[in-house]
Amino acid sequence: MTIEESQARIAETSHWIQAVKTEMAQVLVGQDELVDRLLIGLLCNGHILLEGVPGLAKTLAVKALSGCLHTTFARFQFTPDLLPADLLGTMVYNPQSTAFVPKLGPIFNNLILADEINRAPAKVQSALLEAMQERQVTLGDKTYKLPEPFLVLATQNPIDQEGTYTLPEAQLDRFLLKVTVNYPTPEEELIILDRMATSAPSYITKTAATPEQIAYSRELVNTVYIDPAIRQYIVQIINATRDPVKYDAQLKHLIRAGASPRGTINLALSARARAFMAGRAYVIPQDVKDMVHDVLRHRILVTYEAEAENVSTDTIIARLMAKIPVP
């Protein structure tokens, strides 16, 4: 498929992106970046980790997205006493047939909100990891496919860390993006006050996109052209996280481990999705710049020195990006 053909198909198909944004804006004030990242997760078939204090509309955003897409939605409040069977389901004895039959758990929905995922013990996290990576659940001796689309949106509270279980690096790496959800502006908060300070909040009831449209859009995202110079740019960014001394000698003692090849793949894929949302059949360097923080902030491991100096991964990424020439 040529770039011109891909451009024409994207123009015909991508109209549902703006329709979803318009519908979500009826119940969600601001948080444009959060909405964009949720849509990129859908287009890339990747899971998203949301980090922000309580009350920033993370749950509302996911519910609104589910209402726009005519998909099913389930929310889990992760707690230390949660069991894998509470999510995945289990085998239940049927006295009539004298056999065990599967009772599928609530994870068999399209959109999953895992609230405070770091409060669940290791067994629950590992069970969720299989569902995220393989998109299937094993109960007894049978494997059951999860529905499509299937998207896990997990939240973390960056402040209250009492009674939490730190997510292992292997599980963090499975998330396509880690999005930092910030406070609204004073102007946005006034709108929130006018719109939400009521006992009858509004909900989305109009479908703006179907699962079939999402599936076709994913196919088109894979056709978005990435120039060899931009491919080299992406590889250079990832390599800089592994060998930062080449670019900034002061970062030598701040990075413990850089991003894996999964980071390279996800940065390219999310840049393609960003281009698709802009109605383009080709990636530009700005697409990579827009996505680099969300793709890499949970894939770079900092040293104790960096933590002591209060140097975040976002600061490290920004310093590296300033040193790498843009094609």
Residue 281's domain is classified under what CATH number? Answer: 1.10.8.80
279 and 213 fall within a common domain: no
Q: 92 and 136 share a domain?
A: yes
pLDDT at 163 over 80: no
> Does one domain contain both 187 and 266?
no
In the chain, the N- to C-terminal Cα span, in Å, equals: 25
- Which segment, 61-70, 252-261, 270-279, is predicted with the most confidence on average? 270-279
Average pLDDT, the chain: 84
pLDDT at 40 over 90: yes
Cross-strand partners of 194: none
Sign of CA dihedral 27, 30, 34, 35: positive
Q: 12 Cβ partners below 8 Å, 6+ apart? A: none
SS3 130: helix
* CATH code for the domain in which residue 126 is found: 3.40.50.300
CB neighbours of residue 117 within 10 Å? 24
Mean pLDDT score, 197-225: 78
pLDDT in tens, 52-97: 887 777 888 888 888 888 788 888 888 888 888 888 888 888 888 7
Spatial contact of 289 and 321, defined as CB atoms under 8 Å apart: yes
210-77-148 Cα angle (round to 5): 25
Query: How many Å apart are CA 38 and CA 177, to the nearest integer?
Result: 9
- CB-count exposure of residue 203 (10 Å: 0-12, 13-18, 19+): exposed
- Rounded to an integer, the average pLDDT of 111-116 is 86
Q: End of a domain among 218, 241, 265?
A: 218
List, as one string, the DSSP characters of 178-194: EEEPPPPPHHHHHHHHH
Domain count for the chain, please give it.
Answer: 2
- Residue length of the chain: 327
Pair 67, 245: CB distance under 8 Å: no
Q: Please name the helix (run of DSSP H) or strand (run of DSSP E) that holds residue 80, with its range, or none.
A: none
Check whether residue 118 and residue 20 sit in a common domain: yes
CA atoms within 13 A on the CB side of 127: 21
Rounded to 5 degrees, φ, ψ at 285 are -55, -30
Confidence label for 160 from pLDDT (cuts 50, 70 and 90): low
142 and 234 co-located in one domain: no
Question: By residue range, what is the domain housing residue 28?
Answer: 3-218
Residues 214 and 239 both lie in one domain? no
Shared domain check, 69 and 122: yes
Together in a domain, 68 and 212: yes
Same domain as 243, residue 183: no
Query: pTM here?
Result: 0.86
Domain boundary pick from 218, 239, 270: 218
Asked which of 197, 218, 239 is the last residue of a domain, the reply is 218
User: 76-105 burial, b for 16+ CB within 10 Å, e for fewer?
Assistant: bebeeebebebbbbeeeeeeeeeeeeeeeb
Of the candidates 299, 13, 278, the residue with the CA atom closest to the CA atom of residue 178: 299
* CA atoms 50, 83, 105, 77: torsion sign: negative
Residues pairing with 113 in the sheet = 75, 153
Q: pLDDT tens across 8-23, in order?
A: 888 888 888 888 888 8
